[in-house]
Amino acid sequence: MKIKFVFIAILVAIFSASMLNAAELGSTAVIEVAQANKMVVKGTLFLDVREQSEYDEIHAPRSTLIPLDRLGARMNEIAKFKDQPIVVICHSGKRSQVAVKALREAGFPQATSVTGGMVAWEKAGFDVVKK
């Protein structure tokens, strides 16, 4: 009985943490690849926050690389997009969510993360540049 209670408590804690993370980002902070592609085709800034080596292996042709660990120092490069949508991508969608949180805190309220990242982008058949 005690083990069952501990297991349930752990599940509740994990669920609560994931819901808090989603609430912090906001419901519009994550988009599917098809919507991201439509936005990018229309000229939305497409920000890739992976490392240079990952980008060199495969990337979307319209993307701009600013690795996550350099995003804070390079915000001035994208300052003109503060009042515009920004699509952010990484490998699987985790780093892009971190980047979106940082961008929103820095005054980019329309930043969104691509669900599934480059893995989902390539799987969906959208254009990629490969090494």
List C-alpha distances in Å: 18 to 30, 69, 97, 120: 14, 23, 13, 21
pLDDT single digits (tens) 82-101: 999 999 999 999 999 999 99
CB atoms within 10 A of CB 42: 8
pLDDT single digits (tens) 17-27: 444 444 444 54
DSSP 93: S
Q: Is residue 11 pLDDT above 70, yes or no?
A: no
pTM, two decimal places: 0.80
pLDDT single digits (tens) 97-107: 999 999 999 99
Q: 118: pLDDT confidence band, cut at 50, 70 and 90?
A: very high
Residue type, 58: I
Could you give the domains of the chain? Answer: 27-130 (3.40.250.10)
